[in-house]
Amino acid sequence: MQIYLQNTEDTEQFGAQLFNTALFRKVIFLRGELGAGKTTLVRGFLRAAGYSGVVKSPTYTLVEEYLIGDRKVFHFDLYRVVEPEELEWVGIRDYFNQDAICFIEWPENGEGFLPESDAVITLETNGVGRILTLDGG
């Protein structure tokens, strides 16, 4: 499936729609260049789930954890991962053994240490908007 997102509000709205259709315990890969809207999409998902706090990119922390009621959402950003083996040091596999949604930006940097994805969302800039491609899910 491919759709055109005109602005950040559309990107957040898609994230909200994703929440309304998502089953928990899923792994979703997020692909796209810097500034493509990956964190904006996750923010829309979290807002639809009822989270009202700050949603920031985990570029420097590697992972942000969000607790919404009895649900967990993990947002990973592997942009700064140089060697996939680094993920073993942070116990990455433990995150995937939980009843949670895991959004993973830059999944190619964790190749060999990540489970298969349930869906892949790719965001590409197109003028002021974005083209979103959803595979799986």
Closest CA to 7 of 44, 49, 46: 44
Residue 137 pLDDT: 59
Per-residue three-class SS string for 22-62: CCCCEEEEEECCCCCCHHHHHHHHHHHHCCCCCCCCCCCCC
The sign of the CA dihedral 31, 34, 40, 46 is positive
Other Cβ atoms within 10 Å of 91 Cβ, number: 8
2-136: CATH topology is Rossmann fold (3.40.50)
Each of the 137 residues of the chain gets a pLDDT tens digit; together they read 899 999 999 999 999 999 988 766 799 999 999 989 999 999 999 999 999 999 988 888 899 999 988 889 999 999 999 888 889 888 888 999 888 999 999 999 999 899 999 999 999 998 889 999 998 85
Query: In the chain, where are the structural domains located?
Result: 2-136
Record the pTM: 0.91
